[in-house]
Structure 1
């Protein structure tokens, strides 16, 4: 039988990203492989030999495609070069012609699971990776979750580069399979005050809005609320939203309390309007009981993952509902707000007084003291922090800031808000006297505006001193002042600079984007300090040597408050008096501090062990 002719199928050509095309152009222009590796690839994970092999293969692929698909003039030119030199000698002009001929076959399409480093410069990829963003899909999700100001949490990613990234992601939304939402603005959200249009929320509405953007129909606004007081009101509140804002203004000097109360009242107003169809000032006891039941399992319309408050995806509740403790807190907070509204004669009565608090478990151990770090683990963490603080460059500076913050919390048992608010003027050096050694004392203003003095170690002060050198400031200068820990970089926008109170030495507003170099910058916000702490813990999970599985799990669950528990437990274990630990932590009650020694639990465990031992077979 004669052989039948067979159709030869060529394999699909390999595809290359924009970054790889740019790297090949740079190579043709004469840049060294080492320079290309630093500029366009992750130098830590990609060897120069791999990059050189990639660019050589890419060149051969493009030339083969150009010979097959290019014009007759280009084909003749390439064949002549091969005949003369044994291979194609590329010039920038020749490469451009080859790209035009072969690019539509060789150009890759971005996908959600592609690493960011494949499409953008390694420096950008490294900065995004520092926030846990490693693929294009993760970047799109992060942008949609954070909204128009997403770039503010990524060091050294400004609004200009953010605009380029968002535009590119939108251009390739089809191939990625995910799109940046329309409400994510490409303009600088910090360049000028943002005017957010209000959203009208009616009964049964699926689109909800936070308090600052909320508008409600007149019939649900409370203008004619059934529970409105008939006499002269002490507040100028025409409707329920005005009354809620007037109540929240009482806490302007206590932003954390104000934020917590705003969250609870915001949720209640939205439920009244969108779910119950009743004005806040028309609530009856039955409405209050219904809301209390709603807190156990909020409907799907009211729940969603954390996103920016300007996003259309914002929802007042996180998925999963509230814990019994959170339900209890919500009811008590709302009852207190209604009591005040009655007191100022906005409401005639308080229906929440007839509502009982949700049932909660009365826990013996109210504090999560089991989160405290062991002495050995905390000692190894401190050693690793000191080692990483010796690194150079921006990464080293961030380690030094994190080390200073963690040692402040881990030496003095400070809450995260207290540590973020620490000032140089509050840190005092006291020389040795007859009984006490020389030491540093930090004055702390804690809960209830109560002042206390907390000792910190020389190691902690040395860490702060090193962080100040990164900021271009002299910690030991006679006139030294400013936050103990502060951001090293501030976005170069008017609102960002106003937020961080950036000033030049002459008091004029600064113009540089960096807080380094003699500028006075306000300290971290509580949210920023939490972010820095979490970054350090994530890094320590990989950096601390010889972590056991139990230690790894404990460290992974470590929160800023765990350092406060660590101070208490380790001080008591070293023999410190209970009253001293109480004063250090700023507890109002000695009973709160005594939870750390747990003598009843220790006795319970001892006696139970004796009982269990009796149940064991005698031959074991």
Structure 2
């Protein structure tokens, strides 16, 4: 066993350290004990200082000498405590070692006994303690980057963000996060703070355990009475208590008291009902089931109906099938200024902190008021749902028919076509993408135990991925959802091409589930080939032109090179492999993921491109994924492509929508000529 020799016992006697004095003046943390254990095992003081302490906050870790003096002093204090409070056998052993060697010789076993005897010197963690006193410097440094300074702030941060609290913090993965939360839970009694139950809930098949629990919501009147019964007095404290006690849950976890279930609602139809719905929740689910094959529509309608149902039960104290016109008018007013208790940060739907309205839309007053357009959408969605319930004879009448739509301003241009990149800027961006994509780079490392898991990606590979996405959207006018769902088997040479001018075409399913075919440029095809080669590990499938056969699924055109090391990501990206482990058959980008990728890389271009003017940096900085679609439309119209052709490529249902780009081109012509007039007047002095 390695041994550590402490200083002579005379030093201990001279300092006359007592446990009481030590406890009052300074308490040792678990980090101190860990560092001292490493010192006993003959780890160099310099390594201990670097591993367990931050020299900026711990002066004793500034130099190896000061670190060693600090560790020796700590060891002296612990030996003194062990002599005073340890077992008689341990005390006799230490005294014998001091008499024989002039100092105590500690092995790993005797050191552990000393630590156990001296536990009264350990200061329990408190909510106001700095995180650097308890966590390793690297972890503490990353948490401080999020503005977390104390243990209390760390608990609040975890409770506010829920189970994914660690995702926004660099280099804090699920393993470290679980260890931090476990430590916080062990010390809840000392911290006098509680970590919420779902902060580290375990997933099974991708579904958190807490999601299986049904949550019964109750009317606000009952919550208020309960709060008063508990003896709450004082306005602000009572409001805070009521805010905390207001229980809300999304539709899939929602349970309603029988009295408010609508089983005997006043507006229930007496005629034979076409759906099997005994109460309002079943009627809502039957209506939403109509849109099970339209995920975006289903998500939007679910949001509106669960908001309305929660408002009716919790704030109005009525069942959905009891509501009348005045109730609907009240909800229309509620949408202008939602109750703060219905508003919160974005959380997963299984989290107890989920709220129907997201605070990201909050104004300065803390409200989450919807825009007039969103208010009108909500009213129309509810009116449509009630009409269907009347048609299937669940309800006798539709009170929303007597409610007017919220007033909205008719915009001159509903589409923000001004975000389209000018021709010269578009040319510069394409050239920069080509240059960065040509950088040497390849994918390195795979995780053999779990199939295809990319560990590391050099810069050129990522730029080739973003170039393929940007050109596919900017040269073919695709929406981000269409680009994300585009597949290799739907891309083929067009029968209308020639040897001199070959043309490829891509068939996609666009908005409104309408299928259309768009042309693909030669530059886009080249970019897709390079991106395909980066992704596919099978040499036989690397041939982009021959990667598909009739009737065979060959994979998405765009897919991530680096897959996050999380269970959810691995499940999603391997769902389409079919057991062959081919990365081309993995799930591609989601629409949101593709948008984030493009936004991140465009930001890097704005910050690092050399040949951009200040105005061009501003224009490029305002661009997003959808701006690439506007770019195609504006440039094709400017190059005299017929408007009806542009309409077919863009998938516009109305030609009137496409003519907006013609008006934009006219505006550009006027602006350019006006600039010419101004320059000519300056030259002539008139």
TM-score between the two structures when normalised by the length of structure 2: 0.68
Q: Is the 8 A contact 1:342 1:350 kept in 2?
A: yes
For residues 490 and 566 of structure 1, the distance between their equivalents in structure 2, rounded to whole angstroms, comes to: 32
Task: After TM superposition, give the deviation of residue 317 of structure 1 in Å.
Answer: 1.1
2:67 alignment counterpart: 58
Tell me: CA distance 1:416–1:166, structure 2 relative to 1, closer, same or farther (3 Å): farther
* Count of equivalent residues: 585
1:4 alignment counterpart: none
- Kindly report which structure 2 residues correspond to 1:482-561, keeping only aligned pairs within 5 A, or say none: 482-486=555-559, 488-489=562-563, 499-500=572-573, 502=575, 506=579, 520-533=585-598, 535-536=600-601, 543-544=608-609, 558-561=623-626
Task: After TM superposition, give the deviation of residue 250 of structure 1 in Å.
Answer: 0.8
- Kindly report which structure 2 residues correspond to 1:426-445, keeping only aligned pairs within 5 A, or say none: 426-429=490-493, 433-434=497-498, 437-445=501-509
Q: Which of residues 231, 235, 241 is equivalent to 2:275?
A: 235
Tell me: CA distance 1:346–1:431, structure 2 relative to 1, closer, same or farther (3 Å): closer
Residue-by-residue CA offset, 1:116-137 (whole Å, 9 max, x unaligned): 9994696x899x89xx968578
TM-score between the two structures when normalised by the length of structure 1: 0.74
Q: Which of residues 390, 404, 407 is equivalent to 2:465?
A: 404
Instruction: Between the two structures, name the one with larger relative contact order (CA 8 Å, sep ≥ 6).
Output: 1
Instruction: Note the aligned Cα RMSD (angstroms).
Output: 5.4
Task: After TM superposition, give the deviation of residue 361 of structure 1 in Å.
Answer: 1.1
- Kindly report which structure 2 residues correspond to 1:182-581, keeping only aligned pairs within 5 A, or say none: 182-190=197-205, 194=209, 196-204=212-220, 206-319=246-359, 320-373=368-421, 374-375=425-426, 378-379=429-430, 382=433, 386=437, 390=441, 394-396=455-457, 400=461, 404=465, 407-412=468-473, 413-429=477-493, 433-434=497-498, 437-451=501-515, 452-456=517-521, 457-469=524-536, 474-476=541-543, 478-480=546-548, 481-486=554-559, 488-489=562-563, 499-500=572-573, 502=575, 506=579, 520-533=585-598, 535-536=600-601, 543-544=608-609, 558-573=623-638, 576-581=641-646
- Bigger radius of gyration: 2
Q: Is the 8 A contact 1:422 1:483 kept in 2?
A: yes
For residues 184 and 25 of structure 1, the distance between their equivalents in structure 2, rounded to whole angstroms, comes to: 32
Q: Which of residues 569, 592, 602 is equivalent to 2:657?
A: 592
For residues 55 and 327 of structure 1, the distance between their equivalents in structure 2, rounded to whole angstroms, comes to: 65
3-state SS, counterpart of residue 184 of structure 1: helix
For residues 609 and 194 of structure 2, the distance between their equivalents in structure 1, rounded to whole angstroms, comes to: 39
Residue-by-residue CA offset, 1:225-261 (whole Å, 9 max, x unaligned): 2222221111111111111111111111110110001
Tell me: CA distance 1:408–1:356, structure 2 relative to 1, closer, same or farther (3 Å): same
Extract unaligned runs of 5+ from structure 1. Answer: 1-8, 84-88, 508-515
Q: Is the 8 A contact 2:40 2:106 kept in 1?
A: no
Tell me: CA distance 1:603–1:517, structure 2 relative to 1, closer, same or farther (3 Å): closer
Task: After TM superposition, give the deviation of residue 491 of structure 1 in Å.
Answer: 6.2
For residues 136 and 199 of structure 2, the distance between their equivalents in structure 1, rounded to whole angstroms, comes to: 21
Q: Is the 8 A contact 1:112 1:177 kept in 2?
A: no
3-state SS, counterpart of residue 358 of structure 2: coil
- Kindly report which structure 2 residues correspond to 1:42-121, keeping only aligned pairs within 5 A, or say none: 57-67=66-76, 70-71=79-80, 119=135
For residues 179 and 384 of structure 1, the distance between their equivalents in structure 2, rounded to whole angstroms, comes to: 53
For residues 457 and 547 of structure 2, the distance between their equivalents in structure 1, rounded to whole angstroms, comes to: 27
Residue-by-residue CA offset, 1:533-574 (whole Å, 9 max, x unaligned): 455456556555577766666566544323323333344455
1:180 and 2:195 correspond: yes
Task: After TM superposition, give the deviation of residue 588 of structure 1 in Å.
Answer: 1.8
3-state SS, counterpart of residue 275 of structure 2: coil
2:5 alignment counterpart: none
